[in-house]
């Protein structure tokens, strides 16, 4: 795992994605507030002719259970608002887990099959929850978990309820790609900003790999970058020292830290 600390998470992430654009056929995406400005930068690069989505395929991490695709707070609709309405990705190449299904188990298996049939995810952009969740893999999520229906943690509901006009409309369950689904991606780029994420990030990088902090499973991913602002990195810096270039991890592992500014 590589840790990069920068005051310009959005710009660094967008540059990294654009730099690899030709080698990314299948892009994994996240909703949530963290990547929105990265998507804004990608839209700019699309408008200035640097990149096209026409031949890409995208898979989103998760969707609220029970929300129809056209519900304004569904993650599908959110992704359309934040990115897809502006770019040239064909609709049939834009995949989001099913929020509504007659048979969720079959639909979750089909989502995994679709990812596999596409050749797997080349790079998955992730956020992280204040409890250390990745996608909606809440505390307790096993490393071998796959796409499935999950209950949302109270902290997750609290972090997202403000997006709903009526708090009673906030779903308490979701369909999420599993930890193993994410670990299968050839590259993972986890973004975190702000002090609220510092504890989760410190546990994910420097703690044991454990279901107590699902993001910690990424320590054993061979090609994973945590891209952090200094507030989100504060807990790691406390363990490693401000001028350190290595952070301790589980099992005697060390992770490189680069401070860009």
Query: Cβ distance 174 to 208 under 8 Å?
Result: no
CB of 76 to ligand PGA, least distance (A): 16
CB of 62 to ligand PGA, least distance (A): 9
128 binds ligand PGA (CB under 6 A): yes
125 binds ligand PGA (CB under 6 A): no
Residue of 194, 187, 204, 189 whose CA lies nearest to 229: 194
Q: Which of 97, 99, 129, 249 binds ligand PGA (CB under 6 A)?
A: 129
- Name the active-site residue from 133, 187, 221, 229: 133
CB of 181 to ligand PGA, least distance (A): 15
Active site residue 133: yes
CB of 130 to ligand PGA, least distance (A): 7
| Residue number with CB closer to ligand PGA (128 or 247) | 128
Residue nearest to ligand PGA (CB): 32
Active site residue 131: yes
Query: Cβ distance 2 to 221 under 8 Å?
Result: no
| Residue number with CB closer to ligand PGA (79 or 240) | 79
Give, to the nearest 10 degrees, the angle between helix 230-240 and helix 198-206: 40
Tracing tokens 């270039």 back to the chain, one arrives at 245
DSSP string, 102-135: S-HHHHHHHHHHHHHHTT--SEEEE---TTS-BT
Classify each residue of 89-112 as buried b or exposed e, where b means 16 or more C-beta atoms within 10 Å of its C-beta. beeeebbbbbbbeeebeebbebbb
Query: Cβ distance 66 to 97 under 8 Å?
Result: no
Active site residue 138: yes
| Residue number with CB closer to ligand PGA (73 or 109) | 73
- Name the active-site residue from 10, 63, 122, 131: 131
* Interface characters, 26-55, with ligand PGA (x: CB under 6 A): ------xxx---------------------
Distance from C-alpha of 37 to C-alpha of 220, rounded to nearest angstrom: 28
182 binds ligand PGA (CB under 6 A): no
| Residue number with CB closer to ligand PGA (28 or 32) | 32
- Give contact residues for ligand PGA (rule: CB under 6 A): 32-34, 127-129
> Catalytic residue positions?
62, 131, 133, 138
């Amino acid at each position: 795992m590589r840790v990069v600390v920068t005051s310009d998470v959005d710009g660094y992430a967008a540059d990294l994605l654009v730099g690899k654009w030709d080698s990314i056929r299948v892009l994994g995406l996240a909703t949530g507030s963290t990547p929105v400005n990265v998507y804004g930068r990608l839209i700019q690069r699309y408008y200035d002719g640097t990149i096209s989505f026409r031949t890409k395929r995208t898979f989103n991490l998760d969707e609220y259970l029970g929300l129809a695709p056209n519900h304004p707070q569904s993650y599908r609709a959110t992704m359309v608002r934040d990115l897809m309405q502006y770019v040239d990705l064909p609709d049939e190449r834009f995949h989001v887990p099913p929020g509504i299904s007659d048979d969720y188990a079959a639909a979750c298996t089909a989502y995994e099959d679709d990812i596999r049939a596409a050749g797997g995810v080349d790079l998955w952009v992730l956020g992280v929850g204040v409890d250390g969740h990745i996608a909606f893999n809440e505390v307790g999520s096993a490393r071998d978990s796959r796409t499935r229906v999950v209950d949302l943690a109270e902290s997750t509901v609290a972090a997202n309820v403000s997006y709903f006009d009526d708090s009673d409309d906030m779903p308490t369950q979701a369909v999420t790609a599993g930890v193993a689904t994410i670990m299968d991606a050839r590259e993972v780029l986890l973004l975190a900003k702000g002090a609220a994420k510092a504890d989760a990030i410190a546990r994910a990088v420097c703690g044991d790999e454990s279901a107590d902090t699902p993001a910690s499973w990424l320590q054993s991913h061979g090609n994973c970058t945590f891209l952090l602002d200094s507030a989100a990195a504060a807990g790691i810096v406390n363990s490693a020292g401000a001028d350190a270039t290595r952070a301790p991890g589980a099992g005697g592992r060390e992770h490189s830290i680069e401070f860009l500014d």
